[in-house]
Structure 1
Amino acid sequence: MRPRSDRVPVTNAAKATTLWGVVSVLCVVLVAMGAFGIAFGAVNIDLGTVADVIWNRLLGGSQHIGGVNDQIVWNLRTPRVLLAAAVGAGLALVGTVLQATVRNPLADPYVLGVSAGAGLMASITITYGAAALAGLPTSTTAFAGALMATVAVLWLGQRGGRYSPTRLVLAGVTLSYLFTGLTSFVIFRSADPDKTRSVMFWLLGSLGQAKWSNIAIPTTVVVVGCGYLLLQTRALNAMVLGDEAALSLGFPVHRLRWKFLISTSLMTGVLVALVGGIGFVGLVIPHLVRIIVGPDHRRVLPIAVLVGAIYLIAVDLLCRIVISPEELPIGIVTSVLGAPLFLWLLRRKGAER
């Protein structure tokens, strides 16, 4: 006689319902956090005025347009909040995909040296001008640096045609130190103090450059990248099991790995070129999401995107109000918050073993 079980089996329909419920709640939280990010700062504006300004701007009304509140809400804070959401979502997505692609929970654009490579090339462009790199704009050179770092990490991280997660991370950390040292040399040799300050503040990360004219490209890149990678969740689930398992399931592992790494390099390069170095988002957010919803990337990816967007809007708001009217570089705050959280995650995982 079969033993009776009191557990109710969870169907795919129930899982889908739960996923959509979590996504719906996070969307509401994202909108609310965006409203707070627009309303509060060096000058606080009540939420009703924020809603009126945005409503009139979107519908072409004349009320509140042209005043001080209109300038603050529409021209300064709204593009900044949108950029924070795009960057947070993009970094969380990139970190999740990289951790699955290289099968290492420590992987993210900063640990693997991708951001450092992008930062080196962008620093050269800022310091010496676009003419120093064949007239290419900062976003293009940053992407080239990210791709260069990715190729170098892949080459150093393989042996006999096989990728070792440990070797990939060690190669990434080593290259990150190398690129960071070269970036410091570029800054040291700079003869223009203004450019040096710009590079230093940029390396620490800032959303202060956000405006309507420069958020279209990063937002488009993140949206397209999210759309593509959200369609690859089955492949990511297979790659976590290892190359042999993924190949046996019919997935072209090597081709997919290159596609994922190039797409994440593109996203990282574009984001780093505009906002600078913002660490720990792509490292910590995926781990937190997996604790909540499990390892299935069909759930992890969309939730990580939303949590990353919410998190960076909140951090940017904190940067603007802690020492108001001055502003903290956002990379400082993400590191101060992210490092202890990641250490807690390491201890938690160690206790579970």
Structure 2
Amino acid sequence: MLDSPASPRAARHPSPATALSARRRRLRKLLLIAAASTAALVTVISLAVSLGPVRTPMLAAPVVLLEPIAPALQPFGLHLPDLDPSHSALISTVRLPRVLLAALTGAALACAGAVMQAVFRNPLAEPGITGVSSGAAAAAVLLLVTGVAMAHPWTLPAGAFLGALAAVTFVQLVAGVARPGSTATLLLVGVALNALLGAVISAAIANASSTSDVQHAIFWLNGDLTATSWGDVRVAVIPVLIGLVVLLGFGRELNLMVLSEDAAASSGVNTVAVRQVVLAVAALITAATVAVTGVIAFVGLVVPHLVRLVIGPDQRALLPLSVAAGAVFLVLADLGARLLFSPVVLQTGVVTALVGAPVLLLLVLHRRPG
């Protein structure tokens, strides 16, 4: 006898037309969310550039960005509006690099956090779990308390970047020697290294020769975007953009790895190679941003959770939307750091902790049994 539409078998095996309709509805939903995320990011960047002790027009940021190609627009009858020279200088040299670096950093940390949570199948995983943040912090603090960081403007970001890469390399090598292919071993080695480097940081700060060195070290450890320049943006932009493109291409493989290593392997995924590549790229983009901003917490931990609640666990949608949401979140956090308690300016990392910790607690309570 043929199965009726209401039979269990028909429910388990929907018709091709029904499956196609469901895929189209999901695609429309994702396109709508993507369009809304892009619009939100553009709006937030324009808002962050225009607000401050000196107010500037919201359209000033696009005008400043388009100024280099203004001559090419004139044959088409397009002319950029004139800006107050003081506004143009303020935006181009102070606000725009700071806001763009915040967007890059938020996007990198959120995407890296989503990747870490997928690879480790652990909702508490975040970009610093492989030692990248601690490695950067230890190198930066040692350079600051010894005075070496003052030798050249590039000394601190270069040292922090190398420290981050050294820490990640150490974790990968030790875990590979101990138990190749084991995510649990990788996690444990990362936890141990974070504890060790935390002790190094504490010892270096406790034995600093001056209070100003201690203040500089603590300021860097809390993460901040004050005095951001276009040089800082240039340090981060290329590795972050290339790394994000690479990570976004692993959505299918990460979906399978979230289910189980065996399911991924049976589908033809080289789980060891994929894990090494995505973890290395996630560490690279984290190192590139941490090197110029300091340690900014909770972005990579909380943002993927919030995105997952909205769109579900599909990594092919979760990763790109985490990129947009992370950028929006950190731009808003940095804007709040500048304006909430004006004239007192908070550090950006302090604001992300003040917002991220309560949100994480709410997520934990929301997911409690019963």
Which has the higher mean CA deviation after the structures are superposed, 252-261 or 141-150? 141-150
Amino acid at match of 1:59: A
**1:174-323 equivalences in 2 (<5 Å):** 174-323=192-341
Rate the CA distance shift 1:43–1:141 in 2: closer, same or farther, 3 A: same
Aligned mates of 2:274, 2:259 — CA distance in 1: 14
Identify the range of structure 1 (14-23 vs 268-277) with the bigger mean alpha-carbon deviation: 14-23
Which of 56, 70, 74 is matched with 1:59 structurally?
70
Give, in whole Å, the separation in 2 of the partners of 1:326 and 1:118: 28
Please give the secondary structure, in 1, of the residue aligned with 2:346: coil
Largest Rg, 1 or 2: 2
CA distance in 1, matches of 2:282, 2:294: 16
Change (3 A) 1:248 1:139: farther
| Aligned residue number for residue 45 of structure 1 | 56
SS at match of 1:44: coil
Q: Distance in 1 between matches of 2:294 and 2:179?
A: 36
Given that 2:175 and 2:182 are in contact with CA atoms closer than 8 Å, whether structure 1 keeps it comes out as: no
Closer/same/farther in 2, CA of residues 55 and 248 from structure 1, 3 Å limit: closer
- How far does the alpha carbon of each residue in 1:30-68 deviate from its partner, in whole angstroms, 9 at most, with x for none? 011001101112222232555555554652679436x32
Shift in Å, 1:17: 2.9
Residues in 1 aligned to 2:167 and 2:199: alpha-carbon distance in whole angstroms: 14
Of residues 95, 105, 113, the one that matches 1:77 is 95
1:163 to 168, 179, 182: 182
In the TM superposition, what is the alpha-carbon distance from 1:315 to its structure 2 partner?
Answer: 0.5
Q: CA deviation at 1:140?
A: 4.0
Following superposition, the deviation at residue 321 of structure 1 comes to: 0.5
Alignment of 1:98 onto 2:109: no
Q: Provide the residue aligned with 2:4 in structure 1.
A: 2
Assess if the C-alpha contact under 8 Å between 1:91 and 1:282 holds in 2.
yes
SS in structure 1 of the partner of residue 232 of structure 2? coil
Opposite residue 244 of structure 1, the aligned amino acid is D
Return 5+ residue gaps in structure 1 as ranges: none
Q: What does the per-residue CA deviation read over 1:146-204, in whole Å, with 9 as the maximum and x for residues that have no partner?
A: 33433454546997545254x65555444323212211222232324443322221111
Describe the superposition over 1:215-237 as per-residue Cα deviations: whole angstroms up to 9, x where unpaired. Answer: 01211111101111111111111
The answer to whether the Cα contact below 8 Å between 1:319 and 1:327 also exists between their aligned partners in 2 is yes
Structure 1 residues 78 and 169 mapped into 2: Cα distance closer, same or farther (>3 Å)?
same
Within the alignment, does 1:33 sit opposite 2:62 as a pair? no
Give the residue type in structure 1 aligned to 2:272: H
Contact kept? 2:97, 2:233, Cα under 8 Å: yes
Query: Once the 2 structures are TM-superposed, how far is the Cα of residue 85 of structure 1 from its aligned partner?
Result: 0.4
Matches of 1:289 and 1:52 in 2, distance apart?
Answer: 32
RMSD: 2.9
Distance 2:157 2:253 in 1: 29
Please give the alpha-carbon distance, in whole angstroms, between the structure 2 residues aligned to 1:267 and 1:349.
30
Hey, what's the Cα distance between the residues in 2 that align with 1:87 and 1:122? 18
Residue 86, structure 1, aligned to residue 104, structure 2: yes
Over 3 Å counting, the alpha-carbon distance change for 1:163 and 1:197 in structure 2 is: same
Which residue in the other structure is 1:336 paired with? 354
* Closer, same or farther: CA 331–2 of 1 in aligned 2, 3 Å: same
SS in 2 for 1:350: coil
Distance in 2 between the 1:204 and 1:58 partners? 38
Aligned length: 349
Question: For residues 278-316 of structure 1, what are the alpha-carbon distances to aligned partners after superposition, in whole Å with 9 as ceiling and x for unaligned?
Answer: 100000111111111111111000000000000000000
Aligned-residue sequence identity (percent) comes to 33
Q: TM-score, structure 1 length as denominator? A: 0.88
Corresponding letter in the other structure for 2:279: L
Unaligned runs of 5+ in 2: 72-79
